[in-house]
Amino acid sequence: MVDDLRLRMLDDLLAAERNFRDLAERKVRALTGVLTELAYRLAGEKLEQMRQLDPSAPSSWKPEEWRSFFLSISLTSQGEGWGKANGSGQAAEIAALQAKIAALERELARVRERGYEVPPVERVAQVNPLLVSAGEGRLAGFTLPKIPKAWEHRWQVRAEMSKADAELHLKRRGMVLKCLAEGLSVQVEIGRYVGGATGAQYRSGAIRRVFEALEESGLIVRQTLTLQVTGSLPTRLAVARLSEEGKRFCRALGWPVVESDWERLIRLHEGEKQEGHTLAVLLFASAARLRGWTVEVLPEVQGKARPDMVITRGEQRLYVEVETGTRLHDGNAKWRMNAELNGGRVALVARNVEERGVLVADCRHAAEHGHATDVETLIAGRLVAVSEGDPLWAEEW
């Protein structure tokens, strides 16, 4: 008994150490990404020349090498950087960038020295999803239609539930099905809408039991997608879609059923084979919707371009490409076609901060302006803490 307890404690300590290592490495990559962005803005041409001599630069640089690079460039000269401001505002921007560089160098050195700093998890965990105003109005005024007798056998509840609990549970089941019928796929996003409308946290047992009951009844199909974003532990995303029986059930309730994002990726983009890419597309789609954007996955466009999605908000419209690697495309054709669709702008989602820097460098040759983010950054932002109007992109140029 004592030996088993010691083994469990040792396993817990080892798991905690691995988690701390992953968190520290993630923080280092994020800081490196910010430094890389600043370097490109101040001396993009010089940095590209250094990358040609050393392909691992600047991601492999230590604080001393970053310091040498910034000391070697002139912050007052024009024409060296990418995306620099002109005119009277340049001096203020230079001063702000110098302050950022100094702060980031100190932070990067501190993280490399300490290694396993624990982030403020307690503060994040205390965010109340019911206080975040993104998407809660989606199910406002929802009323569950009368269940046809032919379907009552699939609409049972556990005997131990009180009448009030059973009614609320069944209402939540209906809400989940309505969201799936409208084309949503990501469980955490749907859970947030349902929880916001019924007073439950998006990851509570009450919401989890709703999905479990729907799966047991044969009305939905669920799967957990994985993607190796960074470190040794894969990122997981639970997704769901209506089964054929579930589609017939929703139509019997009078709800139109559209092809879901997940189904469309399976049908048109080998979504089952490219599981990581599917996860990245669905995660970004949820992040965009929660920020007030309308999302269409795999839109039809004229020409050879095949964008992964198009997002719109007001008069803004962007075709977005999701790249879960750092593949080079002939003549940057992929990014040039994306820029043509967007009127001269590139919009991309990378796998992590480091790969985003590589892809952005390629895209700068294809377009003078663009927007970029990555799965690692989107995960760090947590869907539960997102609200409408929050910035969607990690960087713009």
Name the DSSP letter for residue 82.
S
Burial of 192 (0-12, 13-18, 19+ CB in 10 A): buried
Please tell me the pTM assigned to this model. Answer: 0.66
Q: Are 132 and 381 in contact (CB under 8 A)?
A: no
Q: Count of CB atoms within 10 A of residue 52's CB?
A: 9
Give how far the C-alpha of residue 347 lies from the chain's centroid of Cα atoms, to the nearest Å. Answer: 14
Which of 22, 117, 108, 19 lies closest to 60, judged by CA?
A: 108
Amino acid at position 72, single letter: S
DSSP string for residues in 198-256: HT--TTSHHHHHHHHHHHHTTSEEEEEEEE--SSSSPEEEEEEEE-HHHHHHHHHTT--
Start-to-end Cα distance in the chain: 60
Residue partners of 106: CB distance under 8 A and separation at least 6:
none
Under 8 Å between Cβ of 386 and 291: yes
Rounded to whole angstroms, how far apart are CA atoms 47 and 231?
26
CA angle 153, 155, 160 (to 5 degrees): 105
pLDDT one digit per residue (tens) for the chain, 397 residues: 556 666 667 767 776 777 677 677 667 777 777 777 777 777 767 776 676 666 667 777 778 788 888 888 765 544 454 444 444 455 555 666 666 676 676 666 666 565 544 343 333 333 333 223 344 468 888 999 999 998 888 888 877 788 888 999 999 999 999 999 999 999 999 999 998 888 887 667 889 999 999 999 999 999 999 999 987 778 899 999 999 999 999 999 999 999 999 999 999 988 788 899 999 999 999 999 999 999 999 998 888 889 999 999 999 999 999 998 766 656 678 888 999 999 999 999 999 999 999 899 888 888 889 999 999 999 887 777 788 878 899 999 8
Position 151, amino acid:
W
- State the Rg of the chain over Cα: 24
| Residue 301 zone, left/alpha/beta (φ > 0; ψ -120 to 50; rest) | beta
The two structure tokens encoding residue 322:
């999701």
